[in-house]
Amino acid sequence: MLQNFRKCLFWSLDVLRGSKVKAHYRDIQNIIENFSSVESRNRRAESLRKLLNHAVNTTPFYRQFAEFGSIEDFPVINKNSIRDQYDNFGSSVIKDETNYQVYTSGSTGTPFRVFHDKNKRDRHSADVTYFNRKAGFEIGNKLYYIRHWDRYNTSKPWMVWRKNVHMHPVSRLSPKDIEHLLGAMSEDRSPKGILCYASALDEIKRFLESTDKAPHIKGIKSIIAMSETLNQHTRKSIEEFWGVPVVSRYSNVENGILAQQSFGGTEFYINWASYFVEILEMDTDKPAKPGDRGRIVITDLYNYCMPMIRYDTGDIGQMGQYTENGIEYPVLNRVEGRKMDMVFDTEGKMLSPYVVYHILKYPHIEQYQFIQEREKMYLIKLNVSPEFHSGEAIKMEFKIHLGSDAEIQLEFVDDIPLLSSGKRKFVINKLHGGMGQELSRSQA
């Protein structure tokens, strides 16, 4: 009854505000689910054109591109570009309205703020509602949300009740903490969902595999992993324990939900309704060749307060085509984390961070972290149980992937510490300035 009440309350409040979220929701649904239709193509083109015209007419930074012919006439920007000319990115016609600050601190301690106008906020709410539903979560369900909570993202008690959220800090994932969390979930008989960092699922998986006291939990409708790459071993294990498909979401704080996997699929369905997405070459602003990895660059179609056109997320991805019911849909075949976190072999060839997952085949490893120290020098930090005896085998394994002349050292530690954001970093590349940087993907 409370679930239905919260659902009715959400949509009733939207009706009082003119049903703006509902209108956005229907627009998103029509664009994505009828992607190849003329109406969908025209709607996407119209949204991009309106955003570009607004930017060149109302912002100091984009005014110089008033004679643009296409989006490719605009420069690629990043966080540093915005920080350096922060005031020049604000729109002169919307800056005096009530806008909303979104904030990410990152692990470097350098804050990054973006403002969203009311319409962008409504669009984001509709995006969240739509993609939550695609993952099996409905408004009113209890949400067990495991992330880093601070003064910038913690909701007031009234909003926590209205949204039915259990805010669990990611810093509290010891075996005893997980036991208490799962115990609370088992006592909660209502429909529920889990939204958490992928690394939090790793910790839960380890607990479930190590105990014979795992409580039986009823009513789990959805499990969404975010912010970090979800490894397939964890996905499979969690699905076997709870019988619920696990999907991975690609999003960031400054924009919102960019893409999300479907049930049973590994490809990420891009949110073309709210973003224009490009894959550009690693070292130039030219489009990457079909099937090649490149930088994920997005244009936020709905932030008129602070337009972000061709924004380099810092992440690496690969775009492909997925065909369903005769309709081709451009998807992200892979999202591989930040460019600065890519691993290079001893010949300088770029490898995917996925190469590090080879370590998961070895038993008795509790935590790991792979660090490229120099061109041919690598450090693997391991938190292991006493039964671990695979050190030399791991060295030989990684020489196969990195090069026979790779210098690989193992360091045994008691813990791999969390970043200030609450995430745990699995790959660090000191050679290319990756130390201290973290994935930009986080729940918006």
Q: What is the pLDDT of residues 184-218, one digit of tens each?
A: 999 998 999 999 988 889 889 989 988 887 788 99
Low-confidence ranges of the chain (pLDDT < 50): 107-109, 434-444
CB atoms near residue 283 (< 10 Å): 9
* Alpha carbon distance 190, 184 (integer Å): 12
Q: Which 3 state secondary structure label does DSSP give 219?
A: coil
Which long-range contacts link 101-104 to residues 24+ away (Cβ below 8 Å)?
102/253, 102/254, 102/444, 103/152, 103/153, 103/253, 104/252, 104/253, 104/254, 104/421, 104/440, 104/442
CA 47 to chain CA centroid, Å, is: 24
Instruction: List pLDDT tens digits, range 212-264.
Output: 877 889 999 999 999 777 888 889 999 999 999 999 999 998 999 999 998 87
What separation, in Å, do the N-terminal and C-terminal C-alpha atoms of the chain show? 28
What pLDDT, on a 0 to 100 scale, did the predictor assign at position 44? 97
Could you identify the residue written with the tokens 């509709």?
A: 126
> In the beta sheet, which residues pair with residue 350?
344
Residue 99 identity (one-letter amino acid): N
Q: Give the H/E segment covering residue 92.
A: none
- pTM, two decimals, is 0.81
Token pair in block for residue 259: 């893409």
What is the rounded (10 degree) CA torsion for 37, 70, 258, 344?
130
What's the Cα-to-Cα distance from 87 to each of 60, 79, 121, 236, rounded to whole Å? 8, 13, 21, 47
What's the Cα-to-Cα distance from 121 to each of 47, 68, 93, 224, 276, rounded to whole Å? 16, 28, 17, 21, 18
In angstroms, what is the C-alpha Rg of the chain? 22
* Alpha carbon distance 198, 170 (integer Å): 11
What pLDDT, on a 0 to 100 scale, did the predictor assign at position 427? 81
Ordered DSSP codes for 45-81: HHHHHHHHHHHHHH-TTGGGGTT-SSGGGSPPB-HHH
